[in-house]
Structure 1
């Protein structure tokens, strides 16, 4: 052997020896949560569904008369990346995966209650699998109305690959490689992993099975996977965008500190009374219920054409307000400035809900034109925060959302739209709502209403 080669042999071998003796790389730091043989490290709670092991797979079997049952880890986790495979064979076999789950053993008269973040498995035509639900607490955080392209990702009768990242206050999900949901929320800092067998309403569905396998978790050297497509973020931080939102073109319309970027409608400055900013919240004070008779409406200094606008709002009892768009301020009318309006209203206690035509003045409606089709389960009580969203596409299709659910859509300038204008209060305004651009407006209707997390993205 060449003596010069022998001289350098230790140098060549050292990296190989070091690589073989070092711990696993950051991409391999996975821990198996299920050993494939028994349920060591897991326990069933809150219901009577049965869990067994078949050929290295956890099988959950639905039983009649039981509430939701969860197989939960005895260990709690903070930040983690979780991967597993899940299969259901029947459309009634709704399931889910608890991430940072919580358990109150004393709830429901000692029967126990699981609550917290749950990543959905939805085999129905609704298709909300890998959406994020707040089990037994706030309800849906990320319904797939917010990401309809992901509705077809789940395959009934097949094993589906889930990836769930819970890092800091960010929760992201993937389903069979499809980017699905993105929620920013800090309600729970840690908790268990849980596998759900849902309750059944029809006794004939007893015996339906849900399957789980290849369950692994990483808690160290986390390597978060970026979202590459455009996905709407449900962001519960106070007036603060994620890095992902910034790269996607989102920006704040309200900075949480002052009224920068806003002025009074038909004015050059911001109102010096009525409107206030306190602890990151923009509030219009109550003043007797009159339309723009006190401090008055406020509008953005900037004008917008195609955009995605999201905002949180909170109503006081009996309150009326609105978010208007394509406000040109050219009408110089008295009262509230003219524009298309996302109605903000206490439907139960304000008389405007019973006026107009067929409910077209109710919450989230296109005021006096199109009724918002909404379900009570997606409404928040008076005094709690709701999430509004208005999307104006470049082709003039417009969508209203309430708490993640699309409640109406229409096309500006279409014949159907113009026919509705002709039988509304807006018929006196030529080409109402068809301006190429306009201001965003927050209405002073004399009632206390608050806003926060107002963000916008221009669309091309």
Structure 2
């Protein structure tokens, strides 16, 4: 009897869940949809919506007539031609925004070698928000020439994407809480040509009982200020800066609280400008760290110089200047002369200062020099270290191996015995006499 009741309960539950889903496509025609943007061709063929590329037209969008806020959305996608596309969601089109240009979140469909399918792009606004680069094993989730299950979970400020059951992106952002869903046919560029096609079917949405998949190890891009999500907490992150004061920080070479050059206002940690020199007013964390992943957002003023240092060792005498440690360089490469010193660009933005230059790829993904940027330093238990900038790995090395020792011997640190090899050390924010701001400083310890 008990088993029968359990089975009955499961059936009722399953039927209830099934009723939560609403189909957005009847399999016959485009009822409930309208076209915006370009003039790509949309047809219904064999129970699927098919989009065809057309020459000399901008991005095209087949848009739902309804708008959606919190939801779980699913669609099957088939791509046999090497063309770019995407699924718009929480997107908008209004006459007062670039003459009605479609703008908003997009889940990428990308068959190219870079493998960015499932990344989140902000169409018509901020460009890329999440990249699969930090989670490379998901870059093969999309399969050319077969049907792929795309899933978007959007609940409040939290957005998750999945391809064929593989979690790809986790974005936390509150710019747009509601908007339409759209099927994109990209304008023709690069090796694309007219007549390429993409197909969508089994398009459905759940707005009555949308839930996020439980926390897992998918990397998070959190665009809220000094906010720690449940996903980040699950992964072991904690805030190093609370957005209110400098609790957990002290002056370098001292147990005193940071001086007046450091201030907190509107959730931002700022160091005030002076003469652009190393002032000896750096701040360090009260805690020390061994293996860790540190994430931080920073914003440079014109011509500014600063840095984030790790494995700082206060036994070294810096001569009244900055604390000594491995440094993630923060610099206006165009305006500050330090970018042209050192060797092979090893004093430019995101470099391991005076040791290893960063590979910043293309400027498109790093924005204007005064934009907010996201840095990431990962120190693995085996002493491998990575620097990341705006979602891209820009360098990797191993502490204390032979190559590292040679680099140190040729650097400004050659006289500091054992430089960069300490078992643990605090995190340091540098005062180099220029206005620099920080926020969203988070760390998790690795084992």
TM-score, reference length from structure 2? 0.94
Aligned to 2:328: 342
* Deviation for aligned residue 1:287: 1.0
Aligned to 1:363: 349
- Rounded to whole Å, the distance in 2 between the matches of 1:28 and 1:246 is 33
- Rounded to whole Å, the distance in 2 between the matches of 1:39 and 1:27 is 23
Name the CA shift for 1:282/1:21 in 2 (closer, same or farther; >3 Å).
Answer: closer
Q: Of the candidates 372, 381, 385, which is equivalent to residue 372 of structure 2?
A: 385
Is 2:36 the counterpart of 1:62?
A: no
Aligned to 2:84: 94
- Rounded to whole Å, the distance in 2 between the matches of 1:20 and 1:358 is 66
Q: Is the 8 A contact 1:26 1:223 kept in 2?
A: no
Q: Is the 8 A contact 2:215 2:230 kept in 1?
A: no
Aligned to 1:218: 206
- Rounded to whole Å, the distance in 2 between the matches of 1:22 and 1:342 is 53
Aligned to 1:395: 382
Q: Provide the aligned length of Structure 1 versus Structure 2.
A: 442
- Rounded to whole Å, the distance in 2 between the matches of 1:178 and 1:17 is 31
Name the CA shift for 1:55/1:167 in 2 (closer, same or farther; >3 Å).
Answer: same
* Deviation for aligned residue 1:26: 3.8
Q: Is the 8 A contact 1:309 1:390 kept in 2?
A: yes
Q: Is the 8 A contact 1:387 1:404 kept in 2?
A: yes
Is 2:284 the counterpart of 1:299?
A: yes
Is 2:109 the counterpart of 1:125?
A: no
Comparing 127-136 with 377-386, greater Cα deviation is found at 377-386
Is 2:297 the counterpart of 1:312?
A: yes
- Rounded to whole Å, the distance in 2 between the matches of 1:341 and 1:22 is 55
Name the CA shift for 1:25/1:83 in 2 (closer, same or farther; >3 Å).
Answer: same
- Answer with 1 or 2: which has the greater Rg: 1
Give every structure 1 segment of 4 or more consecutive aligned residues whose post-TM-superposition deviation is greater than 4 Å.
15-24, 105-108
Structure 1 unpaired stretches of 5+:
1-14
Alignment of structure 1 residues 69-148 onto 2, 5 Å: 69-91=60-82, 93-105=83-95, 112-148=100-136
* Deviation for aligned residue 1:449: 0.4
* Deviation for aligned residue 1:213: 0.8
- Rounded to whole Å, the distance in 2 between the matches of 1:173 and 1:145 is 15
* Deviation for aligned residue 1:24: 5.5
TM-score, reference length from structure 1? 0.92
Please state whether the residue corresponding to 2:140 is helix, strand or coil.
coil
Please state whether the residue corresponding to 2:427 is helix, strand or coil.
strand
Is 2:338 the counterpart of 1:352?
A: yes
* Deviation for aligned residue 1:383: 3.5
Q: Of the candidates 158, 161, 164, which is equivalent to residue 152 of structure 2?
A: 164
- Cα distance per residue 1:375-407 (max 9 Å; x no partner): 211113243211111111111111111111111
* Deviation for aligned residue 1:223: 2.8
- Rounded to whole Å, the distance in 2 between the matches of 1:404 and 1:17 is 48
Structure 2 unpaired stretches of 5+:
1-5
* Deviation for aligned residue 1:87: 1.5
Name the CA shift for 1:47/1:226 in 2 (closer, same or farther; >3 Å).
Answer: same
Alpha-carbon RMSD across the aligned residues, in angstroms, is 2.3
